[in-house]
Amino acid sequence: MTIRFDGRVAIVTGAGNGLGRVHALELAKLGARLVINDFGGSRDGKSGGSSSEAALAVVEEIKALGGAAIANGANVADFEQVSAMVEQAKAEFGRVDILINNAGILRDKTLSKMDMADFRAVVDVHLMGSAYCTKAVWDTMREQNYGRILMTTSAAGLFGNFGQANYGAAKMAVAGLMNMLAIEGKKNDIRVNTLAPIAATRMTEDVMPEALLKAVRPEQVTPGALYLVSEDAPSKVILGAGAGVFSSVRLVETAPVYLGGELTPDTVAAHFAQISDWSTAVPRDDANQQVAAFFETAMKGLKA
């Protein structure tokens, strides 16, 4: 099996720099036609942000490789601009098969020092940007009975990190968005996955040690991203990728424990070690599985 993207049309957001640029270049090398989205802003999204210059430079790189690409300067946090981007893609290429939600900004501060406008701006780009772009391509993918969508999360959201409350909240939220859309998209062969990358880019140049930066190139992450948007991709997967290393991440739940009908906080405290016995943990396919497990456990407990 050789993964190719001939005949496929892909939109990559934030593709003017860093990971998005490499995702786009590699997709183009494997035959995809590309929409290179980037609004050309600074790392915190506070300056620049209304030009497609960064996107145009990547389009030129793709054309120099013999590929097909157009530039788009939409701000992913603006639904009208994003809808126009999808119209532009369809007018130029006739369809949209792949969406990589990659655009992102950082405004790191501890919550005590954080301005709520900065909290909202980060959520707007990462969460609302991913939701807007996905909504804008969703009906087209449903009509085609084909779609591959990739969210971009972060270890900060999945596991926690100091000073990134806005970013972590938004990044965990895109994994939640995937959970829903992987289920809603299933009958139209729309597969939705999430990438948790580690790479040296302008976003990480001052948060990673120099030695680590040299070891983590975007080129080592992109093959994972491209697998997740390929024809035979899985769905509802979170893939960790960086430095040539890959992992799978998912939420699991311990075996439910019935503690009786009459409860006090002390009852929960007394059983907390049993409730938190991770050796019993399993993943859930969907919310109904959890509810069913709870009722089954309660029924057994009531009968005992």
Site for ligand NAI, rule CB under 6 A: 13-14, 16-20, 37-41, 43, 45, 54, 75-77, 102-105, 125, 129, 152, 154, 197-199, 201-204
Distance of alpha carbon 104 from alpha carbon 163, whole angstroms: 17
What is the nearest approach in angstroms of ligand NAI to the Cβ of residue 4? 24
Q: How many CA atoms lie within 13 A of 119 on its CB side?
A: 11
Q: Which of 132, 167, 227, 258 is catalytic?
A: 167
Question: Which residues, 6 or more positions from 147, have their beta carbon under 8 angstroms from its beta carbon?
Answer: 96, 97, 98, 99, 137, 138, 140, 141, 185, 188, 189, 190, 191
> What is the chain's percent helix, strand, coil content, to nearest 5?
50, 15, 35
Residue 63 near residue 45 (C-beta atoms within 8 A): no
Sheet bearing 147-152, strands edge to edge: 69-72, 33-37, 9-12, 98-100, 147-152, 190-198, 238-242, 245-249
Q: Which residue lies nearer to ligand NAI by CB, 99 or 146?
A: 99
State the minimum distance, in angstroms, from the CB of residue 287 to ligand NAI: 26
Is residue 132 among the annotated active site residues? no
Q: How far is the CB of 33 from ligand NAI (least distance, A)?
A: 20
Question: Minimum Å distance from CB 2 to ligand NAI?
Answer: 26
Nearer to ligand NAI, 54 or 182 (CB): 54
Cβ closer to ligand NAI: 146 or 178?
178
Nearer to ligand NAI, 152 or 166 (CB): 152
Catalytic residue IDs: 167
